[in-house]
Chain A
Amino acid sequence: MTDVQAGSAQRPEVDVSRLVAQYGLKRAGARPNIVDYTRQLWGRRHFMGEFSRANSAVGYSRSTLGQAWQVLTPLLNATVYYLIFGVLIGTKRGVHNYIAFLVIGIFIFTFTQSSMIDGARAISSNLGLTRVLHFPRAVLPVSSTLVALRQLLISLIVLIPIVLITGERPRLSWLLLVPVIALQALFCLGIACAIARIGAKVPDTSQILPFVMRTWLYASGVFYSISAFTKHRGHLVKMLLQINPGGVYVELARNALLKSPPPLPHYEWLYAVGWALVALIGGYAFFWQAEEQYGRV
C-alpha cells in the first residue's frame, strides 16, 4: 500500500522536492514571468475579441431600442453638453466651429473615461469566470478596453456627419485620426490594467472614480480651448494642462478633423506617444505583478 500511505496527516512519505524536480511540477497558482504571461495572453486573443463583442451587446440587451443606444448615447451626450456649454454658458469664445470642437472632445474623452470606469470593474464583475476557468487575468481589462474602443468607433459614425454638417470638408489630415486613436487605445489599455488591479483590491474604487473622472474631464479642455484658456495664465498651469493625457488625444483629434482648430502646442505628438508607452508598460506590469491575487476572496 505504498502510494495509499503517501496521503496522511503527516508529511508525505515521499521526497517532495525530488518528485517536484523530477516530474517538473509547478507551484499552484504561480505567476509566469511577464514574457510567458504575454504569450498566454496572446493565446487568448480570440477569447478577448469574442468576449468584448458579447459584452457590448449584453449591455443593451434589456432595452427596447437595443444596439441603437450605442449610437444614441453619444448623440444625446453631445446634445446635452452643447446646450449647457455652448448655448447656456457660452464657452465657445475663441473657437471657430464649436459644435464639432465639442463633440470631438466628448467622444474622444469618453473613451478614456469608460476605459477607466470599466477597467475598475473588470475583475469584480467577472468573478464567476475567474473562479471556474484559468486564464491570464489581463484578458479582463484588455476586453473592457476593447468594449470602450468599439464604442468610440461607433461614435465616429455619429461624429463624421456632425463634422461635415457644421462646415468641415474631408481632408487628407483626417487620416491622422487613425494614429491618434491607436495611441489613445494603448494609453487606455495601460490605465485600464492599472485601475483594474486597484479596483480588485479596493472595492470602493468604483464609488470614487466617477468624481475623479469628472474632475479630469473639466481639466482636459473638452468644453473649452486649452490654448485660449492658458494664454494669460502662469507657465506651470499651462504646462500641466498641455501635458495632461486626457487633453492630449482630444487636441490631436481636433487638429486632425477641424479646418481651423485652436493652435496645437509644441511636442503634442511626443506627449501622445510618451503617455501611450508609459501607461501601457507601467500599467501592464503593475497588473501582472498581482496576477496571483485576482479572484481570491
Chain B
Amino acid sequence: MSEPMEHVPTVIVDNVHLTYKVAGRHARRGGPAALRRMVTREQRPGMREIKAVRGVSLVAWRGEAIGLIGPNGSGKSTLLRAIAGLMPPEQGAIYTLGQPSLLGVAAALMNDMTGDRNIVLGCLAMGMTPAEVREHYDAICEFAGIGDFIALPMNTYSSGMAARLRFAIAATKSHDVLLIDEALATGDAEFRRRSEGRIRELRAQAGTVFLVSHSLGVVRETCQRAIWLEKGIIVADGEAEAVVDAYEARHDPDALAVRLAAAKAGGKMRVVDEPSAI
C-alpha cells in the first residue's frame, strides 16, 4: 500500500475498551428492587458486563477506506458507534478530526413520514441550509432510485428501499469520516454498484470511510485497508486483499491457512495474534 497522500490522521483509537452493561438472568428487577437501588445508589446486582471491544488501537488517515471484518459479535459495530461518539469508551480514548457520521442498518429516520420529508429533514439535520437542500434534493431522489415510493411514508418501504434512501441522504454531504455499518447489505446489486462508486468518490474528497461488511467482495472492491476483528481484538490490520484472504482462510477450519495466507502476502500484512490464542 502506498503512503496516504498527506498523512493527516482522521481517527485515532488509543487502546480502547468498550463495555455493555446488561441485566443478567439473576438481576433483580421490578419496582421494589428498583426503588431500593435508587435510594441506596447501589449498582444493580446481577449486572453483567459484556466486553465488546478489548484494547483496540488504530490510526486512520485521510483518504483511506477501511473495511472492518469479523464474525458476528466481534465488536465491529460497537467500535463504529464509539468512533461516532455515541458510546463512551470504558478505557482508552478516541479522537476524530471533524464529526464522524454513522450510517447503520438498524437506524430508521422518521418512519411515519414520507420519503421526501425524510430527505428534507435529514439534510437539514446534517446542518444544510434550505437552499442547499433544494440544490441536492433531485440528486438524492435519483440516487436512491425508489421511484414513486418517495411520496409514501417510510414504514411502507422494504428494508432495501429504506437503506437506499438513508444512504442517499447521508452520502450527500462529504463527511470527514463516514462510518457505514452493513448499510449496503440490503440493497440490490445495481444499488450496491452505485454506492460503491459513491464511497470511492467520498474517499476521493479526502474523507475517511469505515465500512463494516460481511460481504468480503465489497470490502475487497471498495477498501484498500482492512481490519480483522475477533472477540473484540484486532487479529490483523493491513492491505485489504491480504487481510480478507487470511480471514477467509481462517474460516476454513484449517487454522494454518492464516499463516499460509500471511506468507503468501509477503510483507503486505502482519499477523498480530493467532485467532486460536484469543
**A residues touching B (Cβ–Cβ < 8 Å)?**
1-12, 14, 16, 19-20, 23-30, 43-44, 46-47, 50-51, 54, 58, 61, 126, 128-129, 131-135, 139, 292, 295-296
B122: nearest residue on chain A (CB-CB)? Answer: A133
Q: Are A58 and B4 in contact (CB under 8 A)?
A: no
Give residues 236-278 of B contacting A (CB, 8 Å).
Answer: 237-239, 267-270, 272-273
Choose the segment among B88-96, B142-150, B188-196, B214-222 that binds chain A (4+ C-beta atoms closer than 8 Å).
Answer: B88-96
**How far does the alpha carbon of A132 sit from the alpha carbon of B110 in the complex, in Å?**
11
Q: Are B57 and A58 in contact (CB under 8 A)?
A: no
**How far does the alpha carbon of A25 sit from the alpha carbon of B108 in the complex, in Å?**
29
Q: Are A19 and B9 in contact (CB under 8 A)?
A: yes
B94: nearest residue on chain A (CB-CB)? Answer: A28
What residues of B have a CB within 8 angstroms of the CB of A133 in the complex? 101, 122, 125-126, 170
Which of these, B59, B99, B117, contacts A19 with CB under 8 Å? Answer: B59
What residues of A have a CB within 8 angstroms of the CB of B233 in the complex? 9
**How far does the alpha carbon of A128 sit from the alpha carbon of B105 in the complex, in Å?**
11
**How far does the alpha carbon of A51 sit from the alpha carbon of B93 in the complex, in Å?**
34
Given contacts A28-B95, A28-B100, A134-B99, whether A292 and B121 have CB atoms under 8 Å apart is: no
Chain A nearest CB, measured from B137 CB (Å):
13
What residues of A have a CB within 8 angstroms of the CB of B237 in the complex? 4, 7-8
Q: Are B239 and A16 in contact (CB under 8 A)?
A: no
Q: Are B127 and A129 in contact (CB under 8 A)?
A: no
Chain A nearest CB, measured from B18 CB (Å):
12
Residue among B55, B95, B234 with most chain A CB within 10 A: B95
B57: nearest residue on chain A (CB-CB)? Answer: A12
Q: Are A12 and B58 in contact (CB under 8 A)?
A: yes
What residues of B have a CB within 8 angstroms of the CB of A5 in the complex? 270
Which of these, B59, B127, B268, contacts A7 with CB under 8 Å? Answer: B59
Which of these, B57, B85, B269, contacts A10 with CB under 8 Å? Answer: B57
26 A-B Cβ contacts within 8 A?
A4-B1, A4-B238, A4-B239, A8-B270, A9-B57, A14-B12, A14-B59, A25-B10, A28-B85, A44-B124, A47-B124, A50-B120, A51-B125, A54-B113, A128-B111, A131-B106, A132-B103, A132-B109, A132-B166, A133-B101, A133-B122, A133-B126, A133-B170, A135-B126, A295-B86, A296-B87
A126: nearest residue on chain B (CB-CB)? Answer: B110
Chain B nearest CB, measured from A73 CB (Å):
19
What residues of A have a CB within 8 angstroms of the CB of B99 in the complex? 134
**How far does the alpha carbon of A47 sit from the alpha carbon of B93 in the complex, in Å?**
32
B233: nearest residue on chain A (CB-CB)? Answer: A9
**How far does the alpha carbon of A132 sit from the alpha carbon of B120 in the complex, in Å?**
15
Given contacts A28-B96, A133-B122, whether A292 and B88 have CB atoms under 8 Å apart is: yes
Q: Are A128 and B15 in contact (CB under 8 A)?
A: no
Q: Are B95 and A25 in contact (CB under 8 A)?
A: yes
Q: Are A16 and B14 in contact (CB under 8 A)?
A: yes
Give residues 154-194 of B contacting A (CB, 8 Å).
Answer: 166, 170
Tell me if B223 is interfacial: C-beta within 8 Å of chain A: no
The number of inter-chain residue pairs (CB within 8 angstroms) is: 163
Chain A nearest CB, measured from B105 CB (Å):
11
Tell me if B72 is interfacial: C-beta within 8 Å of chain A: no
**How far does the alpha carbon of A129 sit from the alpha carbon of B126 in the complex, in Å?**
11
Chain B nearest CB, measured from A21 CB (Å):
10
Tell me if B212 is interfacial: C-beta within 8 Å of chain A: no
Tell me if B33 is interfacial: C-beta within 8 Å of chain A: no
A24: nearest residue on chain B (CB-CB)? Answer: B97
Tell me if B83 is interfacial: C-beta within 8 Å of chain A: yes
Chain A nearest CB, measured from B271 CB (Å):
11
**How far does the alpha carbon of A259 sit from the alpha carbon of B131 in the complex, in Å?**
48
Q: Are B108 and A46 in contact (CB under 8 A)?
A: no
What residues of A have a CB within 8 angstroms of the CB of B4 in the complex? 3
Chain A nearest CB, measured from B244 CB (Å):
15
What residues of B have a CB within 8 angstroms of the CB of A10 in the complex? 57
Q: Are A135 and B268 in contact (CB under 8 A)?
A: no
Chain B nearest CB, measured from A111 CB (Å):
23
**How far does the alpha carbon of A44 sit from the alpha carbon of B128 in the complex, in Å?**
8
A293: nearest residue on chain B (CB-CB)? Answer: B88
Residue among B8, B9, B93, B225 with most chain A CB within 10 A: B9
What are the interface flags for B67-89 relative to A under an 8 Å C-beta threshold, 1 for contact and 0 otherwise?
A: 00000000000000011111110
**How far does the alpha carbon of A51 sit from the alpha carbon of B14 in the complex, in Å?**
38
> Beyond A24-B97, A27-B96, A50-B121: 7 further Cβ-contacts under 8 Å?
A1-B270, A9-B57, A25-B96, A28-B85, A51-B121, A126-B110, A132-B104
Q: Are B112 and A58 in contact (CB under 8 A)?
A: yes
B130: nearest residue on chain A (CB-CB)? Answer: A46
Across the A-B interface, the 3 shortest Cβ-Cβ residue pairs? A29-B85, A7-B58, A47-B124
**How far does the alpha carbon of A47 sit from the alpha carbon of B119 in the complex, in Å?**
11
**How far does the alpha carbon of A11 sit from the alpha carbon of B57 in the complex, in Å?**
6
Given contacts A9-B273, A134-B85, whether A61 and B112 have CB atoms under 8 Å apart is: yes
Chain B nearest CB, measured from A142 CB (Å):
13
**How far does the alpha carbon of A103 sit from the alpha carbon of B59 in the complex, in Å?**
63
